[in-house]
Structure 1
Amino acid sequence: ARWSPSGDRIAFVSNSGEGSEIYVYWNTSNTTSKLTQLENGPSSISWSPDGKHIAFTMKVNAKAPVIASMPAKPKGAKWAKPPRITDRLKHEADGAGYLKPGFNHIFVISSEGGTPRQITTGNFNHGGNISWSSDSKNLVYSGNRNENWEYDFRNSELYSSNINTKEITALTDRNGPDYASKVSPDGKHIAYLGYEDKVQTYQLTQLQLMKSNGENKKVLSNKLDRSINTAIWASDSKGMYISFDDKGKTKIAFIDLAGNISDIVENVGGTTLGRPYASGSFSVSNSGKIAYTYSRPDRPADIAMVTKKNKKPIVITAVNDDLINYRTMGEMEEVWYKSSVDGRDIQGWIVYPPNYDSNKKYPLLVENHGGPILNYGNRFSTEIQLYAAAGYIVFYPNPRGSTSYGEEFGNLLYNNYPGEDYNDVMDGVDTLLKRGVTSEDKLYVTGGSAGGIMTAWIIGKNSRFEAAVVAKPVMNWISKTLVADNYYGYANSRYPGQPWENFENYWKFSPISLVGNVETPTMVMVGMNDLRTPPSEAKQLYHALKLRKIETVLVEIPEASHGIASRPSNLITKVAHTLAWFEKFK
Structure 2
Amino acid sequence: MEKRKVQAEDLYKLQSVTNPVLSPDGKEAVFVKTHIDEEDNKYVANLFHVYLDSNEVTQWTYGKNNVSSPAWSADGKQLAFLSNREDKNQVFIMSAKGGEAKKLTAFEKGVSSFLWSPCGTKIWVNAPVKEGKKFIDKEEKDDKKKPEPYRTSKMKYQMDGTGLLPQDAFRQIGVFDIDSGDVTPFTEGNHQHGLQGISHDGKKLIIGVNREENQDFQFRQPLFIVDIESKEETVLIDEEGYFGGARFSFDDRYIAFIGADQTFKNATHSNLYIYDSQDGTTINLTEGLDAPVGDSVVADHQQGADAPSVEWTTDNHLYFQLSTMGDVRLYFASLEGELYPATPENEHVYGYAVSTDGEFALMTVSNSVNPGELMKQTIATGERQTLTSFNEKYLEEVALVEPEAIIYKGPKDWDVHGWLMKPAGYEEGQKYPLIIDIHGGPHAMFANTFFHEMQLLAAKGYGVLYVNPRGSHGYSQEFVDAVRGDYGGGDYEDIMAGLDYILQENAWIDADRLGVTGGSYGGFMTNWIVGHTNRFKAAVTQRSISNWISFFGVSDIGYYFSDWQIGTDMMDVEKLWQHSPLKYAKNVETPLLIVHSENDFRCPIEQAEQLYITLKSMGKETEFVRFPDSDHNLSRTGTPNLRIARLDEITGWFAKHL
Q: Common fold, TM-score beyond 0.5? A: yes
From 509, 518, 538, the counterpart of 1:447: 518
The equivalent of 1:69 in structure 2 is: none
Counterpart AA for 1:315: T
Q: Deviations over 1:44-93 (max 9, x none)?
A: 211122323211211121389xxxxxxxxxxxxx9952212222222221
The equivalent of 1:257 in structure 2 is: 335
1:360 CA displacement: 1.4
1:232 CA displacement: 2.7
1:154 CA displacement: 1.3
The equivalent of 1:275 in structure 2 is: none
C-alpha contact (below 8 Å) 1:183/1:212 kept by paired residues:
no
From 285, 303, 313, the counterpart of 2:355: 285
* Inter-CA distance 297–539: structure 2 relative to 1 (3 Å threshold): same
* Inter-CA distance 118–214: structure 2 relative to 1 (3 Å threshold): farther
C-alpha contact (below 8 Å) 2:115/2:124 kept by paired residues:
yes
* Inter-CA distance 29–404: structure 2 relative to 1 (3 Å threshold): closer
C-alpha contact (below 8 Å) 2:315/2:357 kept by paired residues:
no
Q: Distance in 2 between matches of 1:368 and 1:175?
A: 30
Aligned-residue identity in percent: 32
In the alignment, is residue 246 of structure 1 matched against residue 324 of structure 2? yes
Q: Deviations over 1:535-561 (max 9, x none)?
A: 100111111110111111000011110
* Inter-CA distance 312–28: structure 2 relative to 1 (3 Å threshold): closer
Matched residue count: 561
From 159, 164, 169, the counterpart of 1:93: 159
Q: Distance in 2 between matches of 1:326 and 1:196?
A: 47
Give the 5 Å matches for 1:167-206: 167-206=232-271
Q: Distance in 1 between matches of 2:253 and 2:405?
A: 44
SS at match of 1:424: helix
In the alignment, is residue 348 of structure 1 matched against residue 411 of structure 2? no
1:21 CA displacement: 1.8
- Contiguous gaps of at least 5 residues in structure 1: 65-77, 271-278
C-alpha contact (below 8 Å) 1:268/1:281 kept by paired residues:
no
From 110, 119, 128, the counterpart of 1:41: 110
1:310 CA displacement: 2.2
The two structures, once aligned, show a CA RMSD in angstroms of 2.0
From 21, 43, 49, the counterpart of 2:90: 21
Q: Distance in 1 between matches of 2:204 and 2:524?
A: 47
From 458, 467, 486, the counterpart of 2:538: 467
Q: Distance in 2 between matches of 1:268 and 1:429?
A: 23
Counterpart AA for 1:506: L
Q: Distance in 2 between matches of 1:211 and 1:403?
A: 29
Q: Distance in 2 between matches of 1:442 and 1:167?
A: 66
Counterpart AA for 2:108: E
* Inter-CA distance 305–509: structure 2 relative to 1 (3 Å threshold): same
Give the 5 Å matches for 1:98-177: 98-101=164-167, 102-127=169-194, 130-148=196-214, 150-177=215-242
Q: Distance in 2 between matches of 1:268 and 1:85?
A: 50
The equivalent of 2:489 in structure 1 is: 419
Give the 5 Å matches for 1:491-530: 491-499=562-570, 501-530=571-600
Q: Deviations over 1:268-323 (max 9, x none)?
A: 976xxxxxxxx721111224321111112112111111132021332211111112
Give the 5 Å matches for 1:213-228: 215-228=280-293
* Inter-CA distance 198–79: structure 2 relative to 1 (3 Å threshold): closer
* Inter-CA distance 285–417: structure 2 relative to 1 (3 Å threshold): same
Q: Distance in 2 between matches of 1:196 and 1:520?
A: 41
SS at match of 1:454: helix
Counterpart AA for 1:324: L
Q: Distance in 1 between matches of 2:162 and 2:601?
A: 9
Q: Distance in 2 between matches of 1:508 and 1:442?
A: 29
C-alpha contact (below 8 Å) 1:349/1:378 kept by paired residues:
no
SS at match of 2:551: helix
1:579 CA displacement: 1.1
1:237 CA displacement: 4.2
1:429 CA displacement: 0.8
The equivalent of 1:579 in structure 2 is: 651
* Inter-CA distance 540–213: structure 2 relative to 1 (3 Å threshold): farther
The equivalent of 2:49 in structure 1 is: none
SS at match of 1:281: strand
The equivalent of 2:500 in structure 1 is: 430
1:180 CA displacement: 1.4
Of residues 4-13 and 86-95 in structure 1, the stretch that sits farther from structure 2 once superposed is 86-95
SS at match of 1:169: strand
Q: Distance in 1 between matches of 2:228 and 2:383?
A: 43
In the alignment, is residue 58 of structure 1 matched against residue 127 of structure 2? yes
* Inter-CA distance 236–268: structure 2 relative to 1 (3 Å threshold): farther
In the alignment, is residue 367 of structure 1 matched against residue 440 of structure 2? no
C-alpha contact (below 8 Å) 2:568/2:575 kept by paired residues:
no
Q: Distance in 2 between matches of 1:380 and 1:421?
A: 25
In the alignment, is residue 457 of structure 1 matched against residue 523 of structure 2? no
C-alpha contact (below 8 Å) 2:329/2:347 kept by paired residues:
no
* Inter-CA distance 513–164: structure 2 relative to 1 (3 Å threshold): same
SS at match of 1:494: helix
SS at match of 2:524: helix
Q: Deviations over 1:234-255 (max 9, x none)?
A: 3214221010110111100101
C-alpha contact (below 8 Å) 1:418/1:509 kept by paired residues:
yes
Of residues 534-543 and 287-296 in structure 1, the stretch that sits farther from structure 2 once superposed is 287-296
C-alpha contact (below 8 Å) 1:91/1:99 kept by paired residues:
yes
